[in-house]
Amino acid sequence: MLARKTLHAHSRIWLRLNRPQSQSQTTTTRHPIRCSSTLVVPFTADRYHVRRENFAKVTADDAKVFREIVGDHGVITDAADLEGFNVDWLKICRGQSKVVLRPKTTQQVSDILRYCNDRKLAVCPQGGNTGLVGGSVPVFDEVVLSMGLMNRIVSLDPMSGVLITEAGAVLETLENYASERGRVVPLDLGAKGSCHIGGNVATNAGGLRLLRFGSLHSNVLGLETVLADGTILPFGSNMRKDNTGYHLHHLFIGSEGTLGVVTQVALLCPPKPTAVSVCYLGLNSFEDVLKCYKEAGDSLNDIISAFEFLDNSCYQVSCEKHKILPPLNPFPFYVLMEVSGWSPKAQSERLDSLLERLMSSGLVADGVVADEPSKIRTFWEIREGVAEALTRRGYVYKYDLSIPKREMYSLVKTSESVWAARSTSAAVTAIWVTNNLHLNVLTSDYFPEVTKRLEPYIFEWTSQHKGSVSAAHGLGFKKRNAIKYSQSPTAIALMKKLKQL
Amino acid sequence: MLARKTLHAHSRIWLRLNRPQSQSQTTTTRHPIRCSSTLVVPFTADRYHVRRENFAKVTADDAKVFREIVGDHGVITDAADLEGFNVDWLKICRGQSKVVLRPKTTQQVSDILRYCNDRKLAVCPQGGNTGLVGGSVPVFDEVVLSMGLMNRIVSLDPMSGVLITEAGAVLETLENYASERGRVVPLDLGAKGSCHIGGNVATNAGGLRLLRFGSLHSNVLGLETVLADGTILPFGSNMRKDNTGYHLHHLFIGSEGTLGVVTQVALLCPPKPTAVSVCYLGLNSFEDVLKCYKEAGDSLNDIISAFEFLDNSCYQVSCEKHKILPPLNPFPFYVLMEVSGWSPKAQSERLDSLLERLMSSGLVADGVVADEPSKIRTFWEIREGVAEALTRRGYVYKYDLSIPKREMYSLVKTSESVWAARSTSAAVTAIWVTNNLHLNVLTSDYFPEVTKRLEPYIFEWTSQHKGSVSAAHGLGFKKRNAIKYSQSPTAIALMKKLKQL
């Protein structure tokens, strides 16, 4: 058997990765929405030609009531301070809200919503504002309900692993809290330094641990929510098993703030694996990626916790932006694979034995393995940093699709001609195991005619291949009209009725 | 380290278990609803004093229409044939339906429901009729919509593990189908030889694999359903990630047939573990069970796939009924623990090392381990056979509760006086890891005053301890009024609105 050390040495570039962590930006210190940008983001209403509905406008009297509810410190009206709440992380959407409210209690959320409902003021609930579909910022002058001050962690039961937290807690804070107690928060994503657990629930965020721990539908045991009319809908039992009536909290998972505001979350946190290894593999063809996945799945299915796919554009752009020395020389495709568990020795042996097989058969052209936390972090940073790196290059037409694995790359291959104009380029990553293809088409600026060339082409292609036009990011503002490509008219009609409840 | 062989030998009784499988009834050949019984089950309407609502009655004209929809063979009206559809598995509830319909296609289900809706005929959808809360049989003379003929398995994708099947497929048939293809159906329960996957979904069945694979909310990727007015609500994308609109299928999981009828299911089937071991442990106190769980959780958390708890009554009654030689001498409490995975050697070593520790510290008084499939089956049979064994002893007041682990047994301990009359006895099992306590109170026959002594006492106690009054079985007929102990008035009001959609 090829020894672990030999595998490390296989790629000489590996050695150069042994540098102080501080040389690269880490995910944990990035706070995307606070980044300054030289781009001026046009108003959403102007860029996308949408018309405001007949909602009331915030008056001085309203502001007075808001101050009574949340206090002076809970009301933001200063133009400079409003900026970060009006512009989305991708710098594509800009709302025109004149007031941001920052409640500290569920009762305050209820009072705000009841008042706004009575006054017919539109409300935009906002978590960490890290969404990618323009769903977390106002489109017009909605009242922004920012959940950032409701960030108290209530409890973590050591026996059951159930974490109860307010919705505004930052994901990374929860992760650290759970980790110190031998538990792991069952979702993880690039935006964890800013995103809120409430926003994660509202958008059914998937992220990097879905393969191992399942979706939020598996792990959210209960929610406290406030409906649009101010009604507080408290937790059910927070038990793993509760079959008393409809499982209402599942309706709020992924509802993107359209049914109510999540104020507290009960989340099942599994025990934290004690041994983790991550490897980067370089591959020459998409066909090889498919075969590599089959082999890895067969050999490692109980310990594999991530299998991600990047093309060379994403890999290079991310390494460059985040000042990371590429762990491998250029290849057309890369796979990032993680294994984790509690039997370090058996786990390493199985991973090494698989990698040896993959490399001697030629399926994998080159590879490096990391066992040490700081190196693992760097490996993940390349993957997690793709979105940010691309955004800095111009306008990104982002598509977040679920597509059957065999077909995943054919969308990119067969349709390059569609976007081969305006000096655009395409960059692709995929959360492979969950069939989630992230297709990014880059241009120097926003051109409506590029949108027309891409849509509905991509949506129709996805629909024909029985995929989903929004795998993870949700519909938000930008994909709101694409729902018909993934849902039947009957289902959409039922959703509309639900919304009216 | 204590060798595996020594552990086997530790309990001499183990050796006596090495007998031909045929000496005991196996779960896989039991078909509970076909058992004959000498007990005459009173009509539900009489026993529980409930009044029929103002629905129409089935006429000869209706029967003619039904024959046009499903053909002569799809309509059952013969009294003897109706019996099995009117009486529940526990022999506690008896409906008075005069007609059972057996559709073969989704369109037929739709035609039936549309017609019944227009005619104001009440309908009772029925799967395998293995439910324990009287939810699967008619209360009065509802039209029974039996799904048994819609049992076609459509496909199992080898790459993704997504199984698509009609709702009337029997769970065990699916299990065998998946197993032959290296996959495992992510739920398993005692009734698998009869229950339908559609019924499992409608009742959010939990079962024996929940700990490892999560609930149906984790594993059901899509549903085809038919609403009460006959509208067919087709699948969404069946992808693991699909964030386009509300996640409607989660609303149907656990809705117990009140929102519509499940006609097809897309179910994620994980790879099948290749190595399984099961052990029975004898313990002297509930405190020891708690400690044993903590130790097992810490040591085996990635490979543990079941941790079940039985008291001596359940254990003895089940062994006796199913003619199984008890694997251990009598103890006040037993734990059945299963580990499964793909690293047989590492797995065995970890289990043995834990058991050695538990036994040398005195936490576990005695124990036996089984690695061989037929022995594993026998071990499970003791646990799975409890419900049937108890039922044969008289009337069972069944409570299926979620209770925080530390409090689980105090309900039994502190309230024995409540049922210490009418020569009753209590028997307890628990799916430990999911906090699911099954409390069975036995009497020679049904006595309304025993119900009055038990209820609302047990429900109130559970509610005070923040548990759920129906962890797994659902509300059905028998627990329909107990919902208020686990759900807020606001939540119940919202459920009622949803039902009216």
Give per-residue pLDDT as tens, A174-191. 999 999 999 999 998 889
Which residues in A lie closer than 8 A to residue B495 (C-beta atoms)?
245-246, 248
Residue-level pLDDT at B424 = 60
Residues of B in contact with A490 (CB under 8 A): 231-234
Domain final residue pick, B268, B285, B314: B268
Residue A253 with chain B: CB contacts under 8 Å: 247, 250
At B17-44, the pLDDT tens digits run: 222 223 333 333 333 333 334 468 999 9
Residues B14 and B39 in one domain: no
Query: Looking at the structure, do residues A51 and A117 belong to the same domain, yes or no?
Result: yes
Report chain B residues whose CB lies below 8 A from the CB of A232: 490
Cβ-count burial A230-264 (b if 16+ within 10 Å, e if not): bbbbbbbbbbbbbbbbbbbbbbbbbbbbbbbbbbb
Mean pLDDT of A155-167: 92
Residue A54 has pLDDT above 50, yes or no: yes
Please name which of A13, A8, A2 lies closest in space to residue A279, comparing C-alpha atoms.
A8
pLDDT exceeds cutoff 70 at A2: no
Interchain CB distance below 8 Å, B402 and A486:
no
Q: How many CB pairs under 8 A join A and B?
A: 250
**Residues 6 or more apart whose Cβ sits within 8 Å of residue A327:** A11, A13, A14, A17, A280, A368, A378, A379, A382
The answer to whether residue B106 neighbours chain A at the CB level (below 8 Å) is no
CA distance A278 to A276: 7
Residue that has been written with the tokens 């958390």 in this structure? B301
How do A436-443 and B425-431 pair as beta strands? unpaired
Does an H or E element contain A221, and which? strand A220-227
Residue B472 sits in a domain of what CATH number? 3.30.70.2740
Judged by a CB distance cut-off of 8 A, whether residue A487 touches chain B is yes
Nearest Cα neighbor of B399 from B453, B345, B348 is B453
Which pLDDT belongs to residue A170? Answer: 98
CA distances from A196 to A108, A130, A192, A235 (A): 18, 9, 8, 19
- Put simply, whether B500 touches A (Cβ < 8 Å) is no
pLDDT attached to residue B420: 64
Question: Which residues does A439 contact at the CB level (< 8 Å), separation at least 6?
Answer: A398, A399, A400, A401, A411, A412, A426, A428, A458
pLDDT tens digit string along B383-438? 988 888 888 888 888 888 888 888 888 888 766 777 665 556 666 666 665 678 88
Q: What is the mean pLDDT of residues A397-403?
A: 87
pLDDT band at A39 (very low <50, low <70, confident <90, very high): low
Read off the CATH number of the domain in which B349 is found.
3.30.70.2190
> B140 pLDDT exceeds 90?
yes
The gap from C-alpha B167 to its chain's centroid, in whole angstroms, comes to 16
Contact A267, A221 (CB under 8 A): yes
Is A198 in contact with A171 (CB distance < 8 Å)?
Answer: no
Of A403-407, A433-437, B467-471, the one with minimum mean pLDDT is A433-437
User: CA-to-CA distance for A116 and A62, rounded, in angstroms?
Assistant: 9
Task: Name the least confident of A341-350, A459-468, B119-128, B230-239.
Answer: B230-239
**A468 contacts on B by Cβ (under 8 Å):** 236-237, 239, 241-244
Rounded to the nearest 5°, which phi and psi values hold at B99?
Answer: -150, 130
Name beta bridge partners: B101. Answer: B75, B145
Q: Does the beta-carbon distance from B471 to A243 stay under 8 Å?
A: yes
Burial class (CB in 10 A: 0-12, 13-18, 19+), A73: exposed
A482 neighbourhood in chain B, CB within 8 Å: 244
Residue A28 has pLDDT above 80, yes or no: no
Together in a domain, A76 and A129:
yes
Element housing A400 (H / E)? strand A395-402
Q: Is B487 on the interface with A (CB under 8 A)?
A: yes
To test the contact with chain A by mutation, choose from B242, B349, B488, B496 the residue with the greatest count of A C-beta atoms within 10 A, namely B242
Of B18 and A414, the structure prediction assigns the larger pLDDT to A414
Task: Please answer whether residues B160 and B175 qualify as being in contact, where contact means their C-beta atoms are separated by less than 8 angstroms.
Answer: no
Cβ-defined contact of B402 to A487 (cutoff 8 Å):
no
pLDDT higher than 90, residue B495: no
Q: Is A242–B341 a contact, with Cβ atoms under 8 angstroms apart?
A: no
> Cβ separation of A241 and B498 shorter than 8 Å?
no
Q: In chain B, whose CA is at the least distance from the CA of A487?
A: B236
Which of A241, A343, A482 is closest, CB to CB, to B471?
Answer: A241
Q: In this complex, is the C-beta atom of A421 within 8 Å of any C-beta atom belonging to chain B?
A: no
Last residue within a domain, chosen from A268, A300, A322: A268
The C-alpha R_g of chain A, in whole angstroms, comes to 23
* Same structural domain, B330 and B282: yes
Average pLDDT over residues B492-501: 85
Cβ-defined contact of A250 to B250 (cutoff 8 Å): yes
Alpha helices in B322-385 (DSSP H): 344-360, 373-384
B56 touches chain A (CB under 8 A): no
- Cα–Cα distances in angstroms (integers) from residue B426 to residues B248, B311, B407, B413, in the given order: 40, 10, 17, 10
Find the mean pLDDT for residues A32-37.
Answer: 34
Distance of CA A414 to the CA centre of its chain: 27
CA-closest candidate to residue A40, choices A87, A78, A96, A98: A87
A432 alpha-carbon distance from chain centroid: 15
Do B17 and B42 belong together in one domain? no
The predicted pLDDT at position B454 comes to 87
Contact by Cβ (8 Å): B309, B291: no
Q: Is A234 on the interface with B (CB under 8 A)?
A: yes
Are the beta carbons of B327 and B13 closer than 8 angstroms?
A: yes
Residues β-bridged to residue A227:
A260
Q: Nearest Cα to A433, choosing from A337, A356, A355?
A: A337
- What are the helix (H) ranges across B153-300? 171-180, 197-202, 210-213, 216-219, 249-252, 286-300
Q: Which A positions 454-483 lie with beta carbon below 8 A of chain B?
A: 466-475, 479, 482-483
Mutation target for A interface from B132, B159, B232, B237: give the one with most A CBs within 10 A. B237
The burial class, CB within 10 Å (0-12 / 13-18 / 19+), for B483 is: middle
Q: Say yes or no to pLDDT of A485 above 70.
A: yes
Whether A303 and A251 map to the same domain: the answer is no
> What is the β-pairing status of strands B304-311 and B425-431?
antiparallel
The average pLDDT across A311-317 equals: 89
Work out the average pLDDT over B302-317.
Answer: 89
> Per mean pLDDT, which range of A22-36, A158-172, B251-265 is the poorest?
A22-36
All residues of chain A having their beta carbon less than 8 Å from the beta carbon of residue B479 are: 244
Q: Which residue has the higher pLDDT, B155 or B12?
A: B155
**Contacts with A346 from chain B: Cβ below 8 Å:** 343, 345-346
A401 and A470 housed in the same domain: yes
pLDDT category of residue B195 using cuts at 50, 70 and 90? very high
Q: Kindly state the average pLDDT of the residues A375-399.
A: 88
| Residue among B265, B136, B133 nearest B197 (CA) | B265
Report residue A493 as tokens: 């009609």
The answer to whether residue A51 neighbours chain B at the CB level (below 8 Å) is no
**Confidence tier at B335 by pLDDT (50, 70, 90):** very high
A330 by DSSP, 3-state: which?
Answer: coil
What is the average pLDDT across B148-168?
94
**Average pLDDT of chain A to the nearest whole number:** 85
Task: Tell me the C-alpha distance between A366 and A221, whole Å.
Answer: 42
CATH (domain of B212): 3.30.465.10
Tell me which residue range forms the domain holding B95. 32-49+58-146
Q: How many domains does chain B have?
A: 4
Strand B304-311 and strand B436-443: pairing? Answer: unpaired
Residue B179: pLDDT above 90? yes
Same domain, B195 and B100: no
CA distance A291 to A361: 11
What's the rounded Cα separation, in Å, for the pair B228 and B258?
8
Contact B467, B405 (CB under 8 A): no
Q: Which of A240, A340, A398, A406 to mutate to test the interface with B (most CBs of B within 10 A)?
A: A240
Helix (H, G, I), strand (E, B) or coil at A62: helix
Residue B425's pLDDT is 67
Residues of A in Cβ contact (< 8 Å) with B255 = 246
CA B13, CA A190: separation in Å to the nearest integer?
55
pLDDT in tens, B438-449: 888 888 888 888
In this predicted structure, which of A222-226, A408-412, B331-335 has the lowest mean pLDDT? A408-412
Residue where one domain finishes, among candidates A114, A146, A178: A146
- Look up tokens 């209360």; give the residue: B139
Bond prior to B456 in cis (omega within 30° of 0): yes
Reported as a pLDDT band with limits 50, 70 and 90, residue A284 is very high
For residue A224, the chain B residue with the least C-alpha distance is B491
Q: Hey, is the C-beta of B495 within 8 angstroms of any chain A C-beta? A: yes
pLDDT of residue B430: 65
Residue A317, min C-alpha distance to chain B (Å):
26
B293 and B247 both lie in a single domain: no
Rounded CA separation B490/A234 (Å): 8
Comparing alpha-carbon positions, the chain B residue that sits nearest to A501 is: B497
The mean pLDDT of A95-116, rounded to a whole number, is 98
Lowest mean pLDDT among A110-119, B241-250, B255-264: B241-250
Give how far B467 is from chain A: nearest CA, Å. 6
A250 vs B: CB within 8 A = yes
Does residue A258 share a domain with residue A285?
no
How much is the average pLDDT of A389-413?
84
Residue B3 confidence (pLDDT) above 50: no
Q: In whole angstroms, what is the distance from residue A364 CA to residue A61 CA?
A: 66
Dist CA A428 CA A315 (whole Å): 9
User: Mean of the per-residue pLDDT values for chain B?
Assistant: 85
pLDDT > 60? residue A45: yes
Residue B236 contacts A, CB cutoff 8 Å: yes
User: Who wins on pLDDT, A405 or B11?
Assistant: A405
Smallest Cα–Cα separation from A487: which of B201, B233, B255? B233
CATH of the domain at A93: 3.30.43.10
> What is the CA angle A395-A397-A403, rounded to 5?
155
Question: Cβ separation of A244 and B470 shorter than 8 Å?
Answer: yes
Assess whether the previous peptide bond of A373 is cis (omega < 30° from 0): no
Q: How far is CA B220 from CA A208, B73, B205, B223, B266, in A?
A: 20, 32, 12, 8, 6
Q: Name the DSSP letter for residue B89.
A: T
Place of tokens 């008896």: B94
Which A residues in the span 182-211 are in contact with B, Cβ-Cβ below 8 Å?
203-204, 206, 210
Q: Does A229 touch chain B (CB under 8 A)?
A: no
The token duo for A274 is: 């004690």
Mean pLDDT of A402-426: 73
* Of the candidates B79, B66, B227, B71, the residue with the CA atom closest to the CA atom of residue B141: B79
Which residues are A438's β-sheet partners? Answer: A400, A429
Dihedral, CA of residue B56, residue B57, residue B63 and residue B65, to nearest 10: -10
Tell me the C-alpha distance between B411 and B407, whole Å. Answer: 7
Distance from CA of residue B266 to its chain's centroid?
20
Question: In degrees rounded to 5, what are phi and psi of residue A88?
Answer: -85, 170
* Contact residues, B window 298-357, toward A, CB-based 8 Å cutoff: 298, 301-302, 341-343, 345-346, 350
Q: Is the pLDDT confidence value at B493 over 50? A: yes
For residues A184 and A282, membership in a common domain is answered with no
Cα–Cα distance, A462 to A388 (Å, whole number): 25
**3 state DSSP class of A162:** strand
* Residue ranges of E strands in B72-199: 75-76, 100-101, 123-126, 143-146, 153-156, 162-166
A269 contacts A178 by C-beta, under 8 angstroms: yes
Cα-atom radius of gyration of chain B, to the nearest Å?
Answer: 23
What is the rounded distance in angstroms from the CA atom of residue B71 to the CA atom of residue A400? 47
Q: Minimum mean pLDDT among A209-213, B195-199, B453-457: which range?
A: A209-213
Q: Does pLDDT of A84 surpass 90?
A: yes
**Whether residue A82 is found in the same domain as residue A181:** no
In tens, the pLDDT along A183-216 reads: 999 998 889 999 999 999 999 988 777 778 888 9
